[in-house]
Structure 1
Amino acid sequence: MDTKKVWFVTGASKGLGLTLVKKLLANGYRVAATSRNLKSLEEQVGPSSFQFLPITMDLTNNENVKAAIQRCVEYFGKIDVVVNNAGFGLIGTLEELSDLEVRENFEVNVFGSLNVIRNAAPYLRKQRFGHIFNIASIGGYSGGFAGFGIYCSTKFAVAGFTEGLAEEMKEFGVNVSVIYPGYFRTTFLSSGSVKTATEPILAYKSARESEQAHLSDIDGNQPNDPERAAEILIEVSELSKPPVHLFLGKDAYAVAEQKNKLIQQTMAQYEIMATSTDLIT
C-alpha cells in the first residue's frame, strides 16, 4: 500500500466516514477529514498531527470547500484520494415533502459533492494521478422504495455525474468510482443522520410502514460491517484499474440483480414496439 497518499474525506465525524478515517490512520495514510462539527471530529479521532488534519467545512459553500481543499494541500503538500461521503437520508413521499426539504437534500447530497469535485479536480488533473470516490447508495441504482424517492434521486444523480466524471478524468490518469452500499451498521438511520417529512400524509401506508421499519427495525440491525467497507475502499484505491461502479454488500447485489433482471425482461418484452422509431424515407 502506498501510505504516502493523502486522503480527503468528507462527512468524517460519524458513520462510514469516521470508520474510514480511523482505518486509514491505522494503516499509516495521511488524512484530511471534514465535518460541520470540528469538536466532534477531534473527540472521535484527535487533534491535528503530522498524519491527521481535521477541518470544519460547509459542504454547501463552494468558497468554503475550496479553502478546505487548499488547506489540505498546503498542510500535506498534495491531495491524492477524495471521498465524497457526506450526506443525509430523507424519508418522505414526493407529495408530502416540501420544496425546501427536497432542495436541502439535493444541496448536500448532490451539489455538495460537486463543490468538492470542482475544487479538487484541478490538483488531481495537474498531477495526473488520483482517485475520487463518490458514495451513493443502492438506492442510487434502484429507486423502488416507498418514501425514499427524493433521497434515491439524489443518489441517482451522484451515480450519473460519476460516470461522466470518470470519462472526463480518464485522460489525466485520475480514477473515479461510485460506491453503492447496502445496509451498513452505522448511525445513518439514527437521529441527526436521517430526516423525515415535517408534514407526513397518513394515507401513504406503504411509505409510513417503510419509514417505521427503517427507523425502528433496520436501524442497529444492518447486516454489513463498515470496517470491511473501509478496507475495501482502501483496497480499491490501490488497484491499477479500479471499477467505476462498485456495489457493497450481499443485499446491494441482490437489489441490483433484481433491477437488472427487470430491465432486461422489460426491454425484451417491448423491443419490437420500442425500436420501431426509425424515420421512413
Structure 2
Amino acid sequence: MTTNNVWFVTGASKGLGLTLVRQLLAAGYAVAATSRRLADLQQAVSADTARFLPLQMDLGSAESVREAIEATISTLGGLNVVVNNAGYGLVGGLEELTDQDARQNFDVNVFGLLHVLRAATPHLRQQRAGQVFNISSIGGFTGNFPGFGIYCGTKFAVAGITESYAAEMKDFNVHATVVYPGYFRTEFLSAGSLGTPQNPIAAYQSIRDSQVAHEQQINGNQPGDPVKAAQVLMQISEAESPPVHLFLGEDAYQLAAQKIAAVQQDLRQWQAVASATSFPVEA
C-alpha cells in the first residue's frame, strides 16, 4: 500500500465487492463499504477497526449517495479509489421482459453508478488525483448471450460511460477503468442476484437453455477466483498508468478475442461498400 489508501466500494455485502473489502482491510487500506441492508454488511465483514466504515446506501437516491460519500471523507479522512460494483443480473428475452424489468436493471446498474460518480467526482477533481473502477462484465463487451440483452445493455452503458469519464478526467489526473470480469465464483448467478422473466415464452428454447446453464451448471463452477480478482484491482490502483479497459479472467480474454475477430471480419467484408458513402471530392 502506498498512497491510494481510502476506498469506497458499493455492493459490498456479497460477491466480488465483499471479497474486495476483505482483501483491502487485510492489506491495511481504509474502506467505506456500502449496501442496501447495513445488517448484511456488518454480518459479512466483522472488522473491528477504525479503518472500516460500513454504510447503508440507497443507490436510487442521489441524496443517500451524496451522504455516503461525505461520511467517507469526513470519517476516513479522504477518498482515493471508488469502486462502482453494485449491480444485479437479469436473464430473459427482450420480448419476455417488461419495461419495468428493464428500467429497474438500468436504475441500479447504470443510474446508480452515475449517482456515485456525480457525488465523488468533485472531490477527486479538486484534489487532482484518484482512481475509479466501474465494474462492467464481459457481457458489457460482447452481447452474444441469448437472454441477456437488457443486462448486457446496462453493462455496455457502463463501458461507454467509463470511456468518456476517463477522457473528461484526464486533465485532472483522475484515472477511470472499466472492468470486464468473466465468470467468477460468487453469488452472482444465485436467485438473489439474478432476475428472471415472470412470463417466459416457450418458443425461446435458446434462452431457456442459457438460463438453465447459468443457474444450474455454471453457478458454483465458475473458473475465476474473486480473491485474485480483488488483488488485481489493488495492484492497478497503485499503478502509474492504469488501463482504461481491464479484462478479468482467461475466459474474458477469450470472449473478447472472439468479439474483436467478428468485428474485424464484418469490417473487411463490408468496407468497400460501407465506406463509399462520402460526398464526391470536388476537383
Fold in common (TM above 0.5)? yes
Shift of 1:65: 0.3
User: Partner of 1:179: helix, strand, or coil?
Assistant: strand
Distance in 1 (alpha carbons) for counterparts of 2:47 and 2:73? 18
Shift of 1:2: 1.5
1:132 lines up with 2:132 in the alignment: yes
Counterpart residue number, 1:6: 6
1:189 lines up with 2:181 in the alignment: no
Does the Cα contact within 8 Å between 1:3 and 1:29 map onto a contact in 2?
A: no
RMSD: 1.0
Deviations 1:18-63 (A, max 9, x none): 0000000000000000001111111111266311000000011111
Distance in 2 (alpha carbons) for counterparts of 1:277 and 1:3? 51
Distance in 1 (alpha carbons) for counterparts of 2:91 and 2:77? 41
Q: How many residues align?
A: 281
User: Partner of 2:278: helix, strand, or coil?
Assistant: coil
Deviations 1:210-232 (A, max 9, x none): 00000000000000100000000
Amino acid at match of 1:214: H
Does the Cα contact within 8 Å between 1:48 and 1:54 map onto a contact in 2?
A: no
Deviations 1:144-202 (A, max 9, x none): 11000000000000000000000000100001000000000000001111110111111
Residues 1:211 and 1:4: Cα distance change in structure 2 (over 3 Å): closer
Is there any run of 5+ residues in structure 2 with no aligned partner, and where?
none
Distance in 2 (alpha carbons) for counterparts of 1:202 and 1:47? 48
Counterpart residue number, 1:88: 88
Does the Cα contact within 8 Å between 2:3 and 2:238 map onto a contact in 1?
A: no
Amino acid at match of 2:119: N
Deviations 1:82-121 (A, max 9, x none): 0000000000000010000000000000000000001000
Equivalence map 1:148-159=2 (5 Å): 148-159=148-159
Distance in 2 (alpha carbons) for counterparts of 1:48 and 1:39? 15
Is there any run of 5+ residues in structure 1 with no aligned partner, and where?
none
Sequence identity of aligned pairs in percent? 57
Counterpart residue number, 2:259: 259
Amino acid at match of 1:54: P
Distance in 2 (alpha carbons) for counterparts of 1:259 and 1:44? 37
Amino acid at match of 2:259: K
Distance in 2 (alpha carbons) for counterparts of 1:113 and 1:102? 16
Counterpart residue number, 2:241: 241
User: Partner of 2:172: helix, strand, or coil?
Assistant: coil
Amino acid at match of 2:56: T
Counterpart residue number, 2:24: 24
Distance in 2 (alpha carbons) for counterparts of 1:64 and 1:156? 26
Counterpart residue number, 2:205: 205
Counterpart residue number, 1:65: 65
Distance in 2 (alpha carbons) for counterparts of 1:205 and 1:114? 35
Hey, which bits of structure 1, 4+ residues long, moved more than 6 A? none
Does the Cα contact within 8 Å between 2:8 and 2:31 map onto a contact in 1?
A: yes
1:165 lines up with 2:178 in the alignment: no
Counterpart residue number, 2:111: 111
Counterpart residue number, 2:222: 222
Q: TM-score, normalised by structure 1?
A: 0.98
Amino acid at match of 1:261: A
Distance in 2 (alpha carbons) for counterparts of 1:278 and 1:47? 62
Deviates more, 1:3-12 or 1:152-161: 3-12
Distance in 2 (alpha carbons) for counterparts of 1:4 and 1:130? 8
Shift of 1:5: 1.2
Shift of 1:133: 0.2
User: Partner of 2:34: helix, strand, or coil?
Assistant: strand
Distance in 1 (alpha carbons) for counterparts of 2:7 and 2:159? 21
Counterpart residue number, 1:178: 178
Deviates more, 1:223-232 or 1:3-12: 3-12
Distance in 2 (alpha carbons) for counterparts of 1:120 and 1:173? 14
Counterpart residue number, 1:122: 122
User: Partner of 1:171: helix, strand, or coil?
Assistant: helix
